[in-house]
Amino acid sequence: MNAQVDSVTDMKNVTVDLFDSRNGEGAVTDADNPHANNSDIRNAGDESLNQIAAQINALDPRSEIEKRRARLKRASFETAEICYRCERTIRPNETVCRVFTTTRGFFGHGTGVAVICSDCGDKDHWRNFFRARPCQSCGRPVRIQATTRTFVIIACSGRCREAIQKIQAEESREKSREIRNFRCETCNQLFTPKRTDAKHCSPACKQKAYRQRKA
> Considering Cα of 25, then 30, then 36, then 41, what sign does the dihedral take?
positive
pLDDT at 8: 45
For residue 50, how far is the Cα from the chain centroid?
24
Contact between 160 and 137 under an 8 Å Cβ cutoff? The reply is yes
pLDDT at 33: 52
Domain match, 110 and 68 both: yes
Among 16, 38, 58, the domain-final residue is 58
pLDDT at 210: 92
Contact between 77 and 40 under an 8 Å Cβ cutoff? The reply is no
pLDDT at 134: 94
Domain count, the chain: 3
pLDDT at 106: 67
- Beta-carbon-side half-sphere exposure of residue 157 (alpha carbons within 13 Å): 24
Round to whole Å and give the CA distance between 155 and 197: 39
Terminal-residue alpha carbon distance, the chain? 77
Domain match, 41 and 96 both: no
> What domain range includes position 207?
182-214
Q: Is 80 left (phi over 0), alpha (psi -120 to 50) or beta?
A: left
| Res. 18: pLDDT tops 90 | no
- Give me the chain's average pLDDT, please: 78
Domain membership of residue 112 (yes or no) is yes
| Res. 35: pLDDT tops 60 | no
Domain match, 51 and 68 both: no
* Mean pLDDT for the stretch of residues 163-180: 80
Helix ranges (DSSP H) in 59-192? 64-79, 118-123, 158-179
Please, is 66 exposed, middle or buried when counting C-beta atoms within 10 Å of its C-beta (0-12, 13-18, 19+)?
A: middle
Domain membership of residue 177 (yes or no) is no
pLDDT digits (tens, 9 = 90+) for 40-80: 666 666 777 888 877 777 777 778 888 888 889 999 999 99
Collect contacts of 104-111 with beta carbons under 8 A, ≥24 apart.
104/61, 104/62, 104/66, 104/70, 105/62, 105/70, 106/7, 106/60, 106/61, 106/62, 107/4, 107/7, 107/8, 108/4
Domain match, 105 and 79 both: yes
| Res. 201: pLDDT tops 80 | yes
Q: How far is CA 65 from CA 47, 62, 68, 195, in A?
A: 28, 8, 5, 56
Contact between 72 and 88 under an 8 Å Cβ cutoff? The reply is no
Domain match, 51 and 73 both: no
Question: How many percent of the chain have pLDDT more than 90?
Answer: 28
Domain match, 51 and 74 both: no
Domain match, 35 and 101 both: no
pLDDT at 12: 46
Domain membership of residue 205 (yes or no) is yes
Domain match, 113 and 193 both: no
Domain match, 82 and 136 both: yes
Comparing 25 with 199, the larger pLDDT belongs to: 199
Domain membership of residue 166 (yes or no) is no
Comparing 2 with 189, the larger pLDDT belongs to: 189
Domain match, 53 and 90 both: no
